[in-house]
Amino acid sequence: MLVSNLLVIPEEEPLLVTPACSMPHEVLSLSNLDSQFFLRFTIEYIFVYKPPQGEDYEEAVERIRNGLSGALVYYYPLAGRLRSRHDHKLEVVCNGEGAVFVRARANLSLKEFGPLHKPAKSWKKLLHKVSADGFLGIPPLVVQVTRLRCGSLIICAGISHCLCDGLGSSQFLQAWCQISKGAKFPSVTPAWSRDLLQSRNPPRIEYSHPEFTEVPDLCNLNTRLKSEQLQASSVIFDSAKLLEMKTLVTVHSHSKCTSFEVLSAHVWRSWIRAMDLHPKQAIKLLFSVNVRTKLQPGLPEGFYGNGFVLACAQTTVKDLTERPLWYAVKVVQRAKEILTDEYIRSIVDTLGDSRRRPDLNGSLVISQWSRLGLMDVDFGWGKASHVGNLSSDIYCIFLPVDSDGEAVNVVLSVPRSVYGKYEYYMRNITHNPL
């Protein structure tokens, strides 16, 4: 049986899980980073667990549902509802309306899902879709627990990106796990503190910020990405392969680099080479950088809002494809180095206009999930056998691989017409001089 034949049947009507005790009814403003139009979507996580041992299925579902209710005491904004102000900024009405919780069963066993490292379109059935008029009508937190035919469990969580970034989501998920396993309170106390990421008075935009600057699309790349059929790609780089890449770059450039720097440069280069673009086309690599400790003073421990900005590496197709990999690594490193406190504050001031969006012409966007701690999301049945995103997109995601703590699964959807070339470049790191 193919995963495309996946049938998911709800076992009960969707429930609204509310905080376990009465919480403040208030309206909380979101930060400039939270309110970006670019982030007005739901982050969708999937966790796959082997059949729970020594625990009845009904008891297991009840335990984690009660745990969710307990976690919402500490993260009560996730039980509220988002709304827009007159200035297009967002705020959350903390009314205790609740998170959506669905229990379902599927007609497949875990073996019939095929390779878990590559998301399939049918996986969307594993997370309840709330009928709503636009993004603001969707509850900030939607959870679905699906039992497979073999007894394995899949837990999917949809979390509003306007309320949590990747680190914040992981922090909440681990709090939910801890309380589900009997803890009275989470090990990390959540902090709201969104006021620390508002515009200065008066705003001071002191840098050019290329991530927001439009570049001419000489190749109709955006039209191509929207019109062509996309195919999901998954390429795993184990610790040995990452070390080989870093060593080769160090030998040729006489400087060190991190695994993220060399891998992101390699993915960017492979993607652009496969797309066969005009040599003079300006291209960007946008990647998320955690700024919690880069700000002065830093954001408090337990901050679970959007505490990242997009770094922007920029060059031309000609330079990226014809020059060695270490050149691309240097471009990525420069994009990180510029992120000082003043530069980040300037980004925050720029986003005082929440309608500002990153320019995606000729851009590849990478989000690093491999260092979020998602492998530690344990509801009492041990670590998940798979952790990842529910679907593949034109945004690239670096995922953790359980068998190797340093390994990274690179997931990206590319036009079907270039899929073979892209995978070839990704898997042959020495095709061109490094």
Same fold, 3-197 and 214-370+392-427: yes
In the annotation, is 161 catalytic?
A: yes
pLDDT given for residue 3 in this prediction? 61
Residue type, 64: I
Least confident among 51-55, 73-77, 155-159, 281-285 = 51-55
Buried (b) or exposed (e) across 395-407, using 16+ Cβ within 10 A?
Answer: bbbbbbbeeeeeb
pLDDT at 400 over 60: yes
The residue-averaged pLDDT of 290-294 equals: 97
Among 34, 128, 161, 165, the one annotated catalytic:
161
- pLDDT band, residue 354 (cuts 50/70/90): confident
Domains of the chain: which residue ranges?
3-197, 214-370+392-427
pLDDT given for residue 353 in this prediction? 85
* Averaged pLDDT of the chain: 93
Greatest mean pLDDT among 68-82, 123-137, 390-404 lies in 68-82
Among 238, 353, 376, 378, the one annotated catalytic:
378
The residue-averaged pLDDT of 260-287 equals: 96
In the annotation, is 319 catalytic?
A: no
Tell me which of 137 and 285 has the higher pLDDT.
285
The residue-averaged pLDDT of 389-398 equals: 92
pLDDT given for residue 69 in this prediction? 98
pLDDT at 389 over 60: yes
Calculate what percentage of the chain has a pLDDT beyond 90.
83
Under CATH, what is the fold of the domain 3-197? Chloramphenicol Acetyltransferase (3.30.559)
pLDDT given for residue 152 in this prediction? 95
Condensed to tens digits (0 to 9), the pLDDT of residues 137-177 reads 899 999 999 999 999 999 999 999 999 999 999 999 999 99
pLDDT given for residue 433 in this prediction? 47
CATH code: domain 214-370+392-427 is 3.30.559.10
First-to-last C-alpha distance (Å) of the chain = 43
Q: What distance lies between CA 248 and its chain's CA centroid?
A: 29
pLDDT given for residue 4 in this prediction? 66
For 388, counting Cβ atoms within 10 Å of its Cβ (0-12 exposed, 13-18 middle, 19+ buried), the class is buried
Calculate what percentage of the chain has a pLDDT beyond 70.
98
